[in-house]
Amino acid sequence: MRIAQHTLVLIVDGQRATFLRNSAKGESVLLAELHSMAFFNEANRDLNPDRPGHTKVGMTERGTSYEQTDVHQANEVSFLGGVVANTEAIMTEHALTDIVLIAEPHALGVLRQHMPAALLNKVISQLDKDYTKTPLPALQAILKKHEQ
């Protein structure tokens, strides 16, 4: 599968997103950055104020604890929802036709859930790897290898 010239390459994990455009013609891959997003998501232990609560069950000595909300995970899901909204805007602004989606597996699943069907139909390829910290030349080589 070849990556066409007007293709968006979206590289995402739970805290960073980079929007790239393939500006090369023919067989080569030449990526140019269009936009990037990032946020600092603290560890869940720092976000939750205290240990989960405990309660007694009935008149027995048995106890149970309440399940604590995973605030860290909720922040990541919220961030990925923002990535989807920006993807639609960037695709329209730069007249891009297709999407190559590269994300770590959990983020890929969340993105698929949040993407509208029209945007999901534009996804021509998916890689379930975390390449958010990979430099552009190495990423171009990976995509060129993936094309074959």
Mind listing the domains of the chain with CATH numbers? 7-43+71-147 (3.30.420.60)
Stated pTM of the model: 0.79
94-133 pLDDT, tens digit per residue, is 999 999 999 999 999 999 999 999 999 999 999 999 999 9
CA 125, 18, 82 angle in degrees (round to 5)? 90
What is the percent of the chain where pLDDT is above 70? 76
Strand duo 16-22 + 7-12: pairing: antiparallel
What is the mean pLDDT of the segment spanning 36-47?
Answer: 71
CA distances from 138 to 22, 30, 144 (A): 14, 11, 10
Better-scored residue on pLDDT, 39 or 124:
124
Report the pLDDT value the prediction gives residue 74, as an integer from 0 to 100: 78
Helix (H, G, I), strand (E, B) or coil at 31: strand
Report the pLDDT value the prediction gives residue 57, as an integer from 0 to 100: 65
